[in-house]
Amino acid sequence: MKLATQLMYSGNPREAADQVAALESAGLDTVWVPEAYGFDSPTLMGYLAAKTERVEIGSAILNIYSRTPGALLQTAAGLDNVSQGRAILGLGASGPQVIEGFHGVPYDKPLARTREIVDLVRRGLRRETLRNEGLYPLPLPEGLGTGLGKPLKLLTRPERSVVPIYIAALGQKNVEATAEYADGWLPFLFHPEKAHQVWGDALARGNAKRQQGLGPLEISAGGLVAIGEGADTKALLDFARPFFALYVGGMGARGKNFYNDLACQYGYEKEAKQVQDLYLGGNKRDAEAKVPLEWLEATNLVGPASYVRERIAAYAEAGVTNLMVAPVSQDPAATVRQLKEWTS
């Protein structure tokens, strides 16, 4: 099992890069760089490439709407070059709130768009001549494009002809498609003991159609890590409450919140409604208090060493190959070293 971590959406990217370098020395395998509606991911990924030597650097995630397939191809090729073959392209549809509210573009056809982009990026990295004959390109205004439609291939030679592509997916059809054609899956708010009941059938259908030449589907998931005895350590779970409440309660309107739907699929229908009602009503602290403790305990690795090792085993049993960790300790590097020992 590999060890991965994800940087925070906010904060100072330069300081984050220094921390990643220290975690790399402690044994970290992969760092995921989010974007959402904060700093762009590729800028920080390029900076991390210059500050590190071994760790894989992935986007988690670049949405499939605000950049064209050609731009995503350029990003994957460029980052793979400056990192000397350590790039991972994490893609996802995000949600209407970010795509329509922040980027101002329609949130439409996420499944078909994702599939087409993955195909175009893979062909582009092989320096094939690209013809966008599906969802892209959008129709040009009358009078434009005449004589300019000559297909092109990537001008520069990529570091690798294959860059791993991971997909962030929650819905049944999206997870099925991910298992069919992606290198890896980035599930969110992952509950190891309940993952099979939610996604087991979708993963099985996708794996039955898995594209020839792909290895087994990689899965990256995890949570906070704090190793210690007593109530003070367990209390650190509260650090995760605002994050869960934001997504379950605030990432989308009623009926259009994928994360709220996921909470319901896990069996937390009552709590999901309470969190959403309170959050959308402006009572964020009360919403945080309604996040089920059982969910927090299952998703995060917080408690005595024996318990943390049990949670690692639960993630492995659920098929996770890349354990995502966010150390909550005075010495994050020491925590990573300890986890590396237990996962090797």
User: How confident is the model over 226-259, as pLDDT tens digits?
Assistant: 999 988 999 999 999 999 999 999 988 898 899 9
Q: Can you tell me the distance from the alpha carbon of 297 to that of 295, in angstroms, rounded to the nearest whole number?
A: 5
pLDDT band per the 50, 70, 90 thresholds, residue 18: confident
CA distances from 101 to 61, 94, 119, 121, 291 (A): 17, 12, 28, 26, 26
pLDDT band per the 50, 70, 90 thresholds, residue 12: confident
Residue 319: both structure tokens together: 């098929």
Q: Can you tell me the distance from the alpha carbon of 240 to that of 242, in angstroms, rounded to the nearest whole number?
A: 6
Residue 342: both structure tokens together: 């237990």
Q: Can you tell me the distance from the alpha carbon of 63 to that of 90, in angstroms, rounded to the nearest whole number?
A: 9
pLDDT band per the 50, 70, 90 thresholds, residue 134: low
Contacts of residue 258, Cβ cutoff 8 Å, sequence gap at least 6: 95, 170, 171, 251, 252
Structural element, H or E, at residue 219: strand 218-227
SS3 320: coil
Q: What is the mean pLDDT of residues 50-74?
A: 95
Q: Where are the domains of the chain?
A: 2-143+151-228+304-343, 229-299
Q: Which CATH number fits domain 2-143+151-228+304-343: 3.40.190.10, 1.10.300.10, 3.20.20.30, 1.10.3720.10?
A: 3.20.20.30
pTM of the predicted model, to two decimals? 0.93
| pLDDT of the residue at 97 | 83
Q: What is the mean pLDDT of residues 62-77?
A: 95
Give the chain's mean pLDDT: 92
pLDDT band per the 50, 70, 90 thresholds, residue 5: very high
pLDDT > 60? residue 78: yes
When mean pLDDT is compared across 75-79, 174-178, 250-254, 272-276, the lowest value belongs to 250-254
| pLDDT of the residue at 145 | 40
Contacts of residue 10, Cβ cutoff 8 Å, sequence gap at least 6: 38
pLDDT > 90? residue 175: yes
Q: What are 29-39's pLDDT values in tens digits?
A: 999 999 988 88
pLDDT > 80? residue 53: yes
pLDDT > 70? residue 125: yes
Q: What is the mean pLDDT of residues 212-235?
A: 95
pLDDT > 70? residue 91: yes
pLDDT > 90? residue 62: yes
* Rounded to 5°, angle at Cα 255 from 291 and 197: 60
CA distances from 32 to 36, 63, 225, 267 (A): 13, 14, 16, 29
For residue 210, what is the DSSP state?
P
pLDDT > 80? residue 149: no
173 CB-side CA count, 13 A? 7
Q: Can you tell me the distance from the alpha carbon of 83 to that of 55, in angstroms, rounded to the nearest whole number?
A: 9
Is omega for the bond preceding 158 within 30 degrees of 0, making it cis? no
pLDDT > 90? residue 263: yes
For residue 221, what is the DSSP state?
E
Q: Can you tell me the distance from the alpha carbon of 67 to that of 69, in angstroms, rounded to the nearest whole number?
A: 7
| pLDDT of the residue at 135 | 58
